[in-house]
């Protein structure tokens, strides 16, 4: 029970099917480490978003007459997810901590805790489906979350239920309204889970010192501005650059960690934004046989791109001769065969015409 509308309705659907349902809330982040002041009044305006979620989860469970348990994974989250997140940023990459949270916390340590409580199954509010042991996209493609499940192993999916996987979001909210749940109109959480609705840059400088440097136009090699620290930018980003001097859109296209340079290009069709292959490691493959041809998604809500896979032990070369914009080291590359999710890995290196791009 996350305190959101999706897990709330998942619990309702399970009750309707005759399951004996219990709720388990995860606390993954220390609210005091997230800028809280000890002794401040606990209102929705000044408590950690996670605590607001817990209060909402309690109210939903009270309404549905199910017990709610709470488990702290603060240390584990720090060790397995947040440390990874910081290390990747230091390397100039763009990590996805929610993917690692699913792998190490939600579908591992959380499951073990549920089993201690006597659970036969765990259920979550993910928009995804499991059929015959295979992972499929949620029916609501706009909300599909298989991208974030790409590092969860086949064994971890055993005895897992996704009750809302066949539903669209509007129908989920409708059920919550019919039951008068506090979460019915609750806004979907966005961004990185442990930050909530906070300013990312302000949050991050608590852990990684800003090192301002030059912004360079990769075409002209001219210095056109200053950046506030390379870890605050990702490939393909165009908002929040705060650089004047051009009426055309500017995009982040690369980083030089040694020289502390942020490279930008002008125009969304700039050739520097395009790659035609990438190397992917940390593979978690869910398919029965290794495919040569399939589709790949290079970021959440990105399009499914036809690709050719060349397997080499623990890595795979993903080729897309038609070219794709802003493929980003550190992000997940997730494989699909139509609706079926075949798993995926982490983008290690981005290439064009067989050569690693020097600015990435």
Residues carrying an active site annotation:
101, 193
Coil, strand or helix: which one is 334?
strand
**Among residues 207, 321, 219, 233, which one has the least CA distance to residue 267?**
219
Under 8 Å CB-to-CB from 218, ≥6 apart: which residues?
253, 254, 263, 264, 265, 272, 359
**Among residues 83, 74, 2, which one has the least CA distance to residue 31?**
74
CB-based contact 102:151 (threshold 8 Å):
yes
What's the CA gap between 357 and 203, in Å, rounded? 30
**Phi, psi of 155, rounded to the nearest 5 degrees:** -65, -35
Coil, strand or helix: which one is 187?
coil
What's the CA gap between 20 and 90, in Å, rounded? 46
What's the CA gap between 278 and 320, in Å, rounded? 9
């Amino acid at each position: 029970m996350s305190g959101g509308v999706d897990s709330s309705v998942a619990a309702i659907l399970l009750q309707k099917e005759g399951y004996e349902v219990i709720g388990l809330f995860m606390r993954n982040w220390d609210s005091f480490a997230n800028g809280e002041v000890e002794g401040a009044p606990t209102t929705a305006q000044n408590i950690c978003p996670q605590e607001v979620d817990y209060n909402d989860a309690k109210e939903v469970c009270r309404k549905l007459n199910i017990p709610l348990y709470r488990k702290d994974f603060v240390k584990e989250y720090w060790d397995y997810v947040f440390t990874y997140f910081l290390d990747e940023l230091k390397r100039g990459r763009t990590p996805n901590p929610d993917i690692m949270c699913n792998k190490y916390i939600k579908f591992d340590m959380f499951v073990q805790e549920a089993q201690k409580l006597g659970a036969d199954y765990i259920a979550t509010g993910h928009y995804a489906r499991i059929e015959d042991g295979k992972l499929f996209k949620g029916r609501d493609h706009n909300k599909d979350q298989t991208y974030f499940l790409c590092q969860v192993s086949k064994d971890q999916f055993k005895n897992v239920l996704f009750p809302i996987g066949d539903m669209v979001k509007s129908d989920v909210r409708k059920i919550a309204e019919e039951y008068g749940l506090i979460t019915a109109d609750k806004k979907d959480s966005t961004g990185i889970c442990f930050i909530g609705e906070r300013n990312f840059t302000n949050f991050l400088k608590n852990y990684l010192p800003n090192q301002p440097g030059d912004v360079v136009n990769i075409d002209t090699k001219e210095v056109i501005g200053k950046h506030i620290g390379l870890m605050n930018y990702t490939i393909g980003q165009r908002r929040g650059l705060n650089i004047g001097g051009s009426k055309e859109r500017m995009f982040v296209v690369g980083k030089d960690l040694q020289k502390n340079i942020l490279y930008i290009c002008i125009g969304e069709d700039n050739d520097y934004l395009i790659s035609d292959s990438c190397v992917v490691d940390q593979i978690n493959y869910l398919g029965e046989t290794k495919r040569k041809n399939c589709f790949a998604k290079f970021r959440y809500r990105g399009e499914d791109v036809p690709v050719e896979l060349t397997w080499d032990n623990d890595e795979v070369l993903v080729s897309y001769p038609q070219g794709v914009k802003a493929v980003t080291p550190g992000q997940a590359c997730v494989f699909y065969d139509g609706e079926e999710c075949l798993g995926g890995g982490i983008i290690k290196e981005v290439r064009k015409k067989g050569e690693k791009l020097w600015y990435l």
